[in-house]
Amino acid sequence: METAQPSLLSPLLFLGMLMLFMYIFIIRPQSKRNKEINEMLNTLQVGSEVIAASGILGKVKNIKGEYVSIEVSDSVVFKLQKSAIANILPKGTIDSIK
């Protein structure tokens, strides 16, 4: 009497489907978002109106390497890492809020 060998196809198929699911729903969207953030930070220039991740609004006064100086009020300048910039706002946004 012969015993049937367990098939390796089923676990390998499950593993393959799991990897495909992770790529489609986790890895691909995250890499797409990182690409968008890098493009936004590369378009950052002096005079741009930005919002920091902490919610602080300001105008870019200086960009030096990976650091940005933003003016939040008259003579009040914060120095932040570029990665702390959450979004670039349309021109005139800060003036319309005041």
pLDDT in tens, 11-64: 899 999 999 999 999 999 999 999 999 999 999 999 999 999 999 999 999 999
Task: Read off the pLDDT band of 97 (50, 70, 90).
Answer: confident
Domain 45-98, classified CATH 2.30.30, yes or no: yes
**CB atoms < 10 A from the CB of 78, how many?**
15
The backbone torsions φ and ψ at residue 33, rounded to the nearest 5 degrees and listed phi first, read -65, -40
pLDDT given at position 98: 72
Residue 61 contacts residue 69 (beta carbons within 8 Å):
yes
